[in-house]
Amino acid sequence: MSSISSPPPVKRVAAGALRWAGILWFIVAAIGQAAFISFILAFYGTRTASGDYAGWNDKPLIDGYIAGDATGNFIFAAHVLLASVVTFAGLMQLVPWIRRAFPMLHRWSGRTFLVVAGFMALSGFWLTLVRGTSLSNVSSAAIVIDGLLILVFGALAWRNAIRRRFDQHRVWAMRTFMAVSGVWFLRVGIMGWVLVNQGPVGMSDSLSGPADIVIVFGSYLIPLVLLELYFRAGRSAHAAPKFLTAAIVLVAAAFTAIGVFGTIALMWGPYL
Ligand code: HEM
């Protein structure tokens, strides 16, 4: 039946559309994450290397540097500087060419990604729950749940790699990538929303307005749902789900591009 309604050329086009929509989204995200890494190194890296710790607060932060809080400042510095490492390692893992041509590099960057992602979650818990860095209960709850997902997904990605179940490993590794990218998506989501609406509609300074709530939880839940759709469409024998998912991914890529532009032009660029 399906071979009559969806002849092979249509299926080939559908599979190609899905694949290229995914690649386009990844290119946009890679540019945005490269900007995130560059900002971290140019802003936090230079100030930390020159001992200007108070300079972390030259941009708006909740706490950042607190005079006299050596432990908190040290953990903040480790968290923020390792954010560049986890983001870079995450991007490397998703490039198929690196995986195929340099399998040893893929294994080591994968271990680095998972170990540092675990540290990011644990240090994030500490900053939020022990140091008490929080804008609102709802935004803290959202990021703590993201941290828990990072730990669970990362452990499953690692376990499946050790057991050589590579299909499962790939699925959990991509879910980990989405959860780790949640904090980057949060920034992209905020700026994308502000630009699309020409202002902070439904937002508050404590990240607890109606739009903020959708964005703080959606920063990882929406990418994770889209990833599942992408997996399912890829496995589907029919052309329609592939075309539909490709269209959704293209819309996501367009929104991501707007948000990436916003983060570079308005969130990070002015502080460099
Ligand atoms: C794994 C991915 C993560 C990355 C890449 C990341 C990245 C960052 C960056 C770049 C900053 C500096 C703030 C800025 O310049 O905007 C930061 C601060 C912070 N992060 Fe994370 N983070 C991650 C995970 C988490 C998690 C899971 C939590 C909470 C459970 C968390 C809690 C915090 C807190 C509380 C601050 C301090 C903010 C302040 O003092 O203003 N992070 N993070």
> Residues 127-139: pLDDT tens digits?
999 999 999 999 9
DSSP state of 56: G
Q: Which phi-psi region, left, alpha or beta, contains residue 188 (left: φ > 0; alpha: ψ -120 to 50)?
A: alpha
Average pLDDT of span 181-207: 97
pTM greater than 0.85 (yes/no): yes
Å from CA of 79 to ligand 1 middle: 7
Whether the CB of 150 sits within 6 Å of ligand 1? yes
For residues 107-121, average pLDDT: 97
Whether residue 61 has its Cβ less than 6 Å from ligand 1: yes
Q: How many residues does the structure list for the chain? A: 272
246 lines ligand 1 (CB under 6 A): no
The pLDDT, as a whole number, for residue 189 is 98
State in Å: Cα 125 to ligand 1 middle: 9
pLDDT at 8: 81
Q: If you write DSSP's letter for every residue of 195-256 in order, what string do you get?
A: HHTTS-TT--TTS-SHHHHHHHHHHHHHHHHHHHHHHHHHH-SSHHHHHHHHHHHHHHHHHH
pLDDT tens digits for range 157-182: 999 999 999 999 999 999 999 999 99
